[in-house]
Amino acid sequence: MASAATCSYSQLSQVFKPLDGDANLYTPFQNGNFETGAGGWWSSTGARVVSGDSNPLLGTHGAYSLQIPGGGSAQSPWMCVNATTPSMRFFVRRVSGTGPLTVNAVIISGGRAVSTLKTMSVSGGSWQASAPVTFPAYLTASSTGINVQFQFTADAGAVFRIDDVELDPYLRR
């Protein structure tokens, strides 16, 4: 549930720098690399951990990612965001189809609120880093923080895989 929170991040790395020069430090979402399963992630529409990983792009080893079927969605564990957390990034791959992947913010505060943050078309069938998903002011207005979940939804005509879901915990822009 959304509530006031104090955000703190201890694992920081420049995960996207080897691929596209993004020197920002990122912190991983809970089980956002799916190497130990999808604990904390939720789906009632068939999203599941599968073999195949984005890490070859980075020269590191991993074996798993999260596959989201056409018309399906996966929801992250609660994540604290505040005035210093402007965006998130992740790796994405289109497995089949032609429709987009949509990233939503889910906030529960006196009722469930869902708002679209970004709808992206992913070309080709190979892994790529997403563009930054910039958070709107209502998610980052708090100086202490609020808890938010992020929902990844595949168009009915497409299947996607996501991996290495990361939050940018420092406002530098």
Per domain, the residue ranges of the chain are 17-168
Each residue of 60-78: pLDDT tens digit?
A: 668 899 999 999 999 999 9
- Termini Cα distance of the chain: 29
83 pLDDT tier (thresholds 50, 70, 90) = confident
Each residue of 106-126: pLDDT tens digit?
A: 887 656 677 888 999 888 788
More confident residue, 137 or 87: 87
DSSP state of 89: E
Superfamily of domain 17-168: Galactose-binding domain-like (2.60.120.260)
| DSSP-derived secondary structure for 14-54 | -TTHHHH-----BEEPTTTT-BTB-TT-B-SS--EEEE--S
In this structure, are residues 132 and 87 in contact, taking their beta carbons and an 8 Å threshold? yes
Q: Which two tokens stand for residue 25?
A: 């430090």
Residues 75, 77: Cα–Cα separation, whole Å: 7
